[in-house]
């Protein structure tokens, strides 16, 4: 029975990774940039949620929505200020800028509030539900349901709305999309807004689940979410969801086997194996290299 419990823990953790990975994968799909600052947007979302719940005494759902809104605006600002000028720059220049933005967000946060961690207030009474002899905490069910609802919403936006159609068109071929009258800049901004909002939501539920947040908390989940995105096939939305879940489950299993200190290494080993043997990911198609 303990195995099933670990599996549930893994899925809860994995759904957080999946929410962050969605932002990575969407941004990569559309402008081929690894947005290193994405993990820090996640951190900002977590802190917004913290202040909303602890200081302004909002409930969980208003805090979640507020964090998503602020993160969406924040993501668009990052894109407009830093990344927009780099559309035609080399990949290395874009990557270094992303690293710079990430460090800037982290240390500006530390500068203003200090590096000490904050304890997330308890928003729900944590009850254990007993389902067929398996103890499942209500928080992990909550996390999972929030994540699933957001993912369904994202699928709806991407496949059924006009902006989603524009996003798919731009990620396919930005120049052709521009010729068809799509406003490419606005579409890219919308992608950043949606991805960052998801990261913000992930930040709030991370806080509720793990109850401890600090300004450098975004680094490791950010990198792991990127691994999840690569695992599922970068640029592919269902891939990010599956990759995130899979990574979460693997990490929980590694911990359950008693190697919890090696948990982070497991994620990197997965990354390296997937990059070497199947760089296009589980759902990816092989792209041929052209001159």
Question: 113 to 152, contacts with another protein by CB under 8 A?
Answer: none
Among 89, 131, 149, 176, binds another protein (CB under 8 A): 89
If binding is defined by CB under 8 A, does position 77 make contact with another protein? no
**CA torsion angle for 164, 166, 167, 172 (degrees, to 10)?**
130
Q: Nearest approach, Cβ of 113 to another protein (angstroms)?
A: 11
If binding is defined by CB under 8 A, does position 282 make contact with another protein? no
Among 59, 77, 108, 183, binds another protein (CB under 8 A): 108
Query: Rounded to an integer, what distance in angstroms lies between the CA atom of residue 271 and that of residue 265?
Result: 10
Q: Give the residue with the Cβ less far from another protein, 179 or 261.
A: 261
Quick one: CA dihedral 238, 241, 247, 249, positive or negative?
A: negative
Q: Which stretch binds another protein (CB under 8 A): 56-64, 169-177, 178-186, 220-228?
A: 220-228
If binding is defined by CB under 8 A, does position 99 make contact with another protein? yes
Q: Give the residue with the Cβ less far from another protein, 32 or 168.
A: 32
* Sites of contact with another protein (CB under 8 A): 32, 34, 82, 85-86, 89-97, 99-104, 106-108, 110-111, 219, 223, 226-227, 230, 261-262, 264-265, 268-269, 271-272, 275-276, 279, 289, 291
């Amino acid at each position: 029975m303990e195995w099933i419990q670990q599996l549930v823990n893994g899925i809860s953790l994995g759904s957080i990774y999946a929410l962050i990975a969605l932002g990575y994968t969407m941004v990569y799909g559309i402008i081929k940039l690894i947005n290193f600052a994405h993990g820090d947007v996640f951190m900002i979302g977590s802190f917004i949620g913290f202040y909303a719940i602890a200081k302004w005494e909002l409930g969980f759902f208003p805090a979640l929505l507020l964090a998503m809104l602020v993160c969406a605006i924040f993501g668009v600002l990052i894109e407009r200020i830093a990344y927009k000028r780099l559309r035609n720059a080399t990949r290395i220049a874009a990557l270094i800028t992303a690293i710079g933005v990430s460090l800037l967000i982290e240390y500006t946060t530390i500068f203003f509030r200090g590096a000490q961690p904050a304890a997330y207030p308890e928003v729900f009474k944590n009850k254990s539900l007993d389902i067929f002899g398996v103890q499942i905490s209500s928080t992990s069910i909550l996390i999972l349901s929030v994540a699933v609802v957001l993912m369904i919403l994202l699928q709806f936006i991407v496949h059924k709305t006009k902006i989603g159609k524009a996003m798919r068109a731009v990620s396919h071929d930005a120049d052709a999309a521009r010729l068809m009258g799509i406003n490419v800049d606005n579409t890219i901004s919308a992608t950043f807004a949606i991805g960052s909002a998801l990261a913000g939501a992930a930040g709030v539920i991370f806080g509720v689940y793990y109850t401890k947040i600090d300004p450098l908390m975004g680094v490791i989940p950010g990198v792991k979410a990127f691994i999840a995105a690569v695992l599922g096939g970068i640029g592919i939305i269902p891939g990010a969801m599956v990759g995130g879940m899979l990574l979460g489950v693997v990490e929980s299993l590694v911990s359950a086997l008693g190697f919890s200190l090696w948990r982070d290494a497991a994620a990197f080993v997965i990354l390296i194996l997937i990059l070497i043997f199947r760089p296009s990911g589980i759902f990816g198609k092989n792209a041929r290299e052209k001159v």
